[in-house]
Structure 1
Amino acid sequence: MENRKANIALWSAAALMGLTTGVHLFAGTPEIMGPILQADLHSFIKATAMVVWHVATLLLALMTFGIAYLAKRRNAALSLFIILIHLSFAGLFLWYNITVFSGLFALPQWTVFLIVPGLMGYALLKDA
């Protein structure tokens, strides 16, 4: 029988990822991609930026669905894969916060990328 607390943790992680995906897509696109597309840049740079932006959108959405899947059917390999992606993203955001902005919260996305794997790790421990 699956642990109720583990399910709550995984559904919470999936909800947070869904919210993050929505913010990225609906608030981030005009705020970040708008100025890039309006800038005097070569079309190759603009197209590359759009591809990278949409790859990030797809990754966020797929991780949302992956975590929701894990709430219904456990898969340690998938859990580890998603956790490692999140921790890698957190590391990138922290690195650029520190090296470019000499702080932590200019790019606060790292917080989500630590909370979600924390919830997932909690679920893994509760299922063990």
Structure 2
Amino acid sequence: MANTFLAMSIDIETRKPKIGNIMGGISGPAVKPLVVRLIFQVHQATKLPIIGSGGVMNGRDAIEMILAGATAVQVGTANFISPTAMPEAIDEIRRYMVSHNIETIAELIGKIELE
């Protein structure tokens, strides 16, 4: 769905861009709420598969994107922080599913409760 958003920062004293290339990407946990919103909106408009990407740091983040409508989720930044991020996220998703009596991921896709 999304991942890195183009961003810019200006040094107000020098009035010059803080990034040598003028603009750069912002990613990681800061973009997750933007991505969740995009997934939700696209899921409402289409039944095409959606891959959520951007800000997934753990299993709970992945579940949030799945509830918004993602059929799959990508983990990026978390892998740079911890090489065990993926297996830990998968384990967290499994524990969530067990504790909520959920047998398949399909039972979660787009199942946000709005009321």
TM over 0.5: no
Q: Which has the higher helix share?
A: 1
TM-score by length of 2: 0.29
> Relative CO higher for 1 or 2, CA cutoff 8 Å, sep ≥ 6?
1
Q: Which has the higher strand share?
A: 2
